[in-house]
Amino acid sequence: MLLASVVPGDAAAAQAQPAAATRAAAARDPECIRPGNAWLNPRFYWRNVFGSRLGEGTIHESSYPNPFGGRIAPGSTFTFRWRPETTRNPVGAQYHVHRVNLASVMAVADVESVTGPGTFSGTTLSAQETPPQKLGDTVVRFRIRPGTEGRTATLSSADHSLTTRWLFANINNIWENTGSISFTVASRASLGCDSSSVLG
């Protein structure tokens, strides 16, 4: 059972208009980003009452060019790649629903495209994994909105959630690593790329 986002036609059209306007305005400017090297890749596991591990996995995440740990100017784009993977499935686990809330990123950026198994519901990207089948990458293309200079977008382990269906009940997982990464939206002038592109 895949989770899907259903948006009424009028609402979808209203959402598309700002994004289209952003793309049209940004088309005049080249990309402007000072890449960072921060990443998160949360790890998770399940355990029984005795503390023994029942299974585990990783949320593979990457961005290109990577704004996290760096700065990016309005009008610039980056792709966010997301792939949950259960490396050892708990015995009896039927499926897992993975989610990541990208509200902070979407407060400064518009979603231009989404490809892969993941779907959006509001600001939450989700996908269902049914072992032993593996999920492919979900790739989201973002464009930074004009007027967001000085704002910071954050992605943390707390933005991730996971529901596992085990026989006739849901079981909870434990997140093994915690932390957060962020990027700042900066003006093109402050990045020194009024007429250039990606900075080293």
Q: Domain of 68? A: 34-191
| Res 196: pLDDT | 47
Does the reported pTM lie above 0.85? no
Write the pLDDT tens digit of every residue in 130-169.
999 999 999 999 999 999 999 999 999 999 999 999 876 7
**Residue 155 placed within a domain:** yes
**Residue 28 placed within a domain:** no
Pairing, β 180-185 against β 71-72 = parallel
CATH number at residue 149: 2.60.40
**Residue 139 placed within a domain:** yes
- The two three-digit tokens of residue 149, written as one number: 């200079």
- The number of domains in the chain is 1
| Res 6: pLDDT | 34
| Res 155: pLDDT | 98
**Residue 23 placed within a domain:** no
**Residue 110 placed within a domain:** yes
The answer to whether the Cα torsion of 34, 125, 12, 104 is positive or negative is: negative
pLDDT along the chain (200 residues), means of 10: 35 47 56 96 91 93 98 98 97 95 98 98 98 96 98 97 85 88 97 66
C-alpha to C-alpha distances, 106 to 13, 17, 62, 173, nearest whole angstrom: 18, 15, 16, 26
| Res 44: pLDDT | 96
**Residue 26 placed within a domain:** no
| Res 61: pLDDT | 98
